[in-house]
């Protein structure tokens, strides 16, 4: 039995009207698990570095900094390419393919016989990681109702923080017993197993199919999400010759270019800041000041990562009701406050650092992690969303590469835990200014609603009258 409500409805109106179903939650969990594996894979290499230093004599300021910097550049390239391919080939197809790349690259990294081969496998894995992050976020943004998009993207990104905790836990278990190679094998097999399940369960974006003119395929997905609805009255966009602008050209058009540039810089500063902490926190904690041992530093890093999960979930809940610009602004102010607190306690004990960094883990990863994706996904229409999210992620990965290089340099120059956090006051201040610019641009482009960008009116044909084509 089907239910018809009123006259013809757009695709976004249909998805918003049915709300979140159990299928949405299944898709959300599977994509969040892929992001968890991504976050775990980024993190485990930080726990491997001490073993590489001991086994191959690699230096922190040379080889290790090279892997960190080049790896993040590879993630950025993967993200921007995946964003474009997701708009051309489909979000799901790109997510599956790129997850396979980073899973295989991580696993085969365990076969490395020297630092050169390790670096090569790491770059392949990083290409896949950056691409999978962009494609996964874009797929989730398309599948869920627009009104819940920002909230669910933020909550899914909490999986990245949980990946930090899982990676630290696996490192503590596997490195002492099986060595760093066992950790790489585990880090590669987990995403490969997850992506098999996702490929079987999660559908392609119906909005992607509709934008490509594949009406029949879009209807097939919608029947899974809205089995009781009359899809014959749902208006799906047909291919329009004058509307086939390149997605990259759209995000760089006069209308969207200011938002795009601001998002690039926001991503650059936010992820660069976050990953300076994530990549170097174990090293900073084991410096002569504060002088913690391996167990103590691993405990703090694990708790820091778990706190970021709670922060991400809380952000998701708040974003369902509060303006994204307001809550992100509050988080950035609190991040600056925590940086000052840590800067004022340079010689703190393990207990004090555990407490302070737990609170910090609730705030800074939440302010600097999911927020760029939340802002980017809400800033563009469906046809350019993958490219927009991917290009923002590219800016973020370039920022993380610069952050990796800067972090290694300043640590080598003697700037410790307190000094690093005081320096981070600069990007937090800049991020607040950029956020204000994005809010102004959102009003200008029509992306200032709670769910983000509202699709513009365009020539449409009822699904029942459209002839299906393949993308």
Q: Give the distance between the most distant pair of CA atoms in the chain.
A: 72
pLDDT digits (tens, 9 = 90+) for 286-322: 778 888 876 787 788 888 888 988 998 888 888 878 8
pLDDT digits (tens, 9 = 90+) for 265-290: 999 999 888 878 877 787 788 778 88
Distance separating alpha carbons of residues 9 and 394, to the nearest angstrom = 35
Distance separating alpha carbons of residues 134 and 386, to the nearest angstrom = 7
pLDDT digits (tens, 9 = 90+) for 391-440: 887 788 788 778 777 777 777 677 888 888 998 999 999 999 999 999 99
pLDDT classification of 123: cutoffs 50, 70, 90 = very high
More confident residue, 146 or 324: 324
Cis peptide before 195 (omega within 30 of 0): no
More confident residue, 15 or 359: 359
Mean pLDDT of 6-33: 76
Instruction: Say how many C-beta atoms besides its own lie within 10 A of residue 14's C-beta.
Output: 22
Closest CA to 427 of 392, 399, 408: 399
pLDDT at 240: 41
Domain residue extents for the chain: 9-446
pLDDT at 460: 35
What is the DSSP code string of 257-303? HHHHHHHHHHHHHHHHHHHHHHHHHHHHHTSTTT---HHHHHHHHHH
Distance separating alpha carbons of residues 199 and 219, to the nearest angstrom = 19
Distance separating alpha carbons of residues 106 and 96, to the nearest angstrom = 16
Cα–Cα distances in angstroms (integers) from residue 445 to residues 48, 228, 258, in the given order? 45, 35, 10
DSSP class of residue 466 equals: S
pLDDT digits (tens, 9 = 90+) for 351-376: 999 999 999 999 999 999 889 988 98
pLDDT digits (tens, 9 = 90+) for 431-468: 999 999 999 998 888 877 655 555 443 333 333 333 33
Residue 337 pLDDT exceeds 50? yes
pLDDT at 16: 66
Are 399 and 279 in contact, with CB atoms under 8 Å apart? no
pLDDT classification of 243: cutoffs 50, 70, 90 = very low
pLDDT digits (tens, 9 = 90+) for 190-242: 999 999 999 999 999 888 887 777 777 877 877 777 666 555 555 565 444 43
pLDDT at 43: 79
pTM for the model: 0.71
CATH number, domain 9-446, options 3.30.300.20, 3.40.50.2300, 3.30.70.270, 1.20.1250.20: 1.20.1250.20
pLDDT digits (tens, 9 = 90+) for 52-92: 888 888 876 677 778 877 887 888 788 878 877 887 888 89
Closest CA to 65 of 280, 274, 273, 269: 280
pLDDT at 180: 92
More confident residue, 228 or 182: 182
pLDDT classification of 9: cutoffs 50, 70, 90 = low
Closest CA to 42 of 443, 458, 369, 441: 369
């Amino acid at each position: 039995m089907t239910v018809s409500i009123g006259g013809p409805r757009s695709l976004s109106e249909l998805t918003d009207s049915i709300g979140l179903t159990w299928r949405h939650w299944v898709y959300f969990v599977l994509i969040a698990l892929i992001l968890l594996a991504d976050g775990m894979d980024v993190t485990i290499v930080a726990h491997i570095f001490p073993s590489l230093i001991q086994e191959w004599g690699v230096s922190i300021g040379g080889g290790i900094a090279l892997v960190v910097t080049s790896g993040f550049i590879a993630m950025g390239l993967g993200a921007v390419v995946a964003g474009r391919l997701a708009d051309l080939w489909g979000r799901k197809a790109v997510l599956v393919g790129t997850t396979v790349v980073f899973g295989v690259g991580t696993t085969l990294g365990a076969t490395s016989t020297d630092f050169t081969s390790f670096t090569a496998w790491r770059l392949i894995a990083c290409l896949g990681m950056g691409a999978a992050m962009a494609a996964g976020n874009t797929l989730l943004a398309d599948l869920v109702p627009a009104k819940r998009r920002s909230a669910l993207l933020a909550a899914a990104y909490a999986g990245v923080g949980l990946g930090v905790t899982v990676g630290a836990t696996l490192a503590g278990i596997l490195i002492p017993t099986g060595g760093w190679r066992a950790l790489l094998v585990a880090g590669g097999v987990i995403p490969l197993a997850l992506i098999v399940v996702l490929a079987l369960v999660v559908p392609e974006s119906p909005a992607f199919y509709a934008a490509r003119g594949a009406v029949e395929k879009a209807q097939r997905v919608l029947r899974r999400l809205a089995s009781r609805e009359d899809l014959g009255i749902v208006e799906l966009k047909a291919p329009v010759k004058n509307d086939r602008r390149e997605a990259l050209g759209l995000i760089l058009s006069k209308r969207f270019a200011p938002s795009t540039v601001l998002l690039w810089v926001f991503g650059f500063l936010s992820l660069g800041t976050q990953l300076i902490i994530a990549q170097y926190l174990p090293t900073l904690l084991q410096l002569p000041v504060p002088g913690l041992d391996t167990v103590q530093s691993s405990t703090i890093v694990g708790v820091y990562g778990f706190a970021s999960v709670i922060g991400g979930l809380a952000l998701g809940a708040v974003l369902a009701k509060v303006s994204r610009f307001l809550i992100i602004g509050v988080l950035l102010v609190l991040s600056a406050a925590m940086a000052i607190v840590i800067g004022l306690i340079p010689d703190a004990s393990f207990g004090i650092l555990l407490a302070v960094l737990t609170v910090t883990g609730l705030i800074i990863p939440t302010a600097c992690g999911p927020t760029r994706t939340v802002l980017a996904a809400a800033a563009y229409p469906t046809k350019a969303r993958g490219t927009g999210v991917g290009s923002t992620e590219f800016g973020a990965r370039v920022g993380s590469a610069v952050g990796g290089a800067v972090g290694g340099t300043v640590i080598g120059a003697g700037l410790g835990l307190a000094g690093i956090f005081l320096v981070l006051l600069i990007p937090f201040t800049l991020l607040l200014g950029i956020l204000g610019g994005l809010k102004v641009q959102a009003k200008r482009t029509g992306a200032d609603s709670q769910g983000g960008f509202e699709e513009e009116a365009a020539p449409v044909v009822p699904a029942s009258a459209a002839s299906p084509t393949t993308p």
